[in-house]
Amino acid sequence: MGFLDNSGDIILDAVLTDLGRKRLAEGDFSITQFALGDDEINYTLYNPSHASGSAYYDLEIVQTPVLESFTNNTSTMKSRLITLTDNNLLYLPVIKEDNISDTNTERHSTDIFLVAVDQKTEKTGDFDDKANGIGKVVTTAAQRTGVLYGLSPATGTKYISLHQGIDNLNKPNSQPLSSALQEDSYVIQIDGRFGTIVNTEGVPLSEESQSQDDDGFIIYNVDLNGADEIVQPLNSTQGSPLEGSRGTQLGFKIKASDNLTDNVSYFDRFGFATTVESLSCKVIDTMVRVTGIKTGYSIDIPVRFIKDITS
């Protein structure tokens, strides 16, 4: 991997992803759609006060080195360019973590969501004794903030919540978000080696909503008021981290894979040892990415799968 020097002529660097090469080898390669992104562009470099005139306002932007194309499709296109017909828009919607409307949606004190992969780490079942654990403060019988039950998500109260809409007081929540900007459908991506997405009741999502790519990532397509109940309307009266017009909200939990529940081989291969709540653990850090279909806005949620290894 390297940078492309585009200080002179504009360079087009295109490669096929792993899936594209696979389909090309099978004789089934056909481009039916494409997307453009601007992840590497810093628009604050635009300088309307440049002494040499308007031709130089965007000189620093167009000369910014960009990365060579990746073949790994999971590493590209976090921010997609979109076309909007309304030229009078002043604000575009975002997706933000909701840690305001429900105390069950806050991160752990380590500023990350922890997913306990077994009963010992959850502090449930045979391990629900008098000692405090990672997943529970036994003296109060309370599930710890920011710790999701990855073995038994249906029994836990903690989950991940996201709100979509305008984050600006100049577009107050009393004004409805236009249908062109309201996200009705989302894509959720998670590394399938480590876990899967379930709804807030702990129910696995329908097989029709998911697919798996060549890198082992599970891709879920979820819709407003769909059978999986992941996406719901976001009304103007409930608490929200958004300061402006509201669109929709997502709520989900994560179930740990059997690979993490039953042994430590994946932790040894992909993770590291650390201490959480004064207990020795093995952990794997990863991200869950959520992307809106209409606007292409995406958010990466930090997740740490954790296994208590104290004797």
For residue 62, is pLDDT > 90?
A: no
> Would you place residue 1 in the very low, low, confident or very high pLDDT band (cuts 50, 70, 90)?
very low
| Span 64-83, average pLDDT | 72
- Considering only residues 46 and 34, tell me which one the structure prediction assigns the higher pLDDT: 46
Q: What is the pLDDT of residue 276?
A: 95
- Higher model confidence: residue 228 or residue 130? 228
Residue 76: pLDDT above 70?
no
| 27 pLDDT more than 50 | yes
For residue 102, what pLDDT is reported?
86
Residue 78 pLDDT > 90 = no
What does pLDDT average to over the chain? 89
270-295 per-position pLDDT tens digit: 999 999 999 999 999 999 999 999 88
251-260 pLDDT per residue, tens: 999 999 999 9
From residue 205, how far is each of 228, 249, 273, 284, 300 by CA, in Å?
6, 17, 31, 23, 20
Higher pLDDT, 69 or 186: 186
pLDDT value at position 291? 93
Q: Taking residues 41-64, report their average pLDDT.
A: 89
Q: Which residue has the higher pLDDT, 138 or 246?
A: 246
Q: Is the pLDDT of residue 130 over 70?
A: yes
Segments making up each domain of the chain, as ranges: 1-81, 94-308
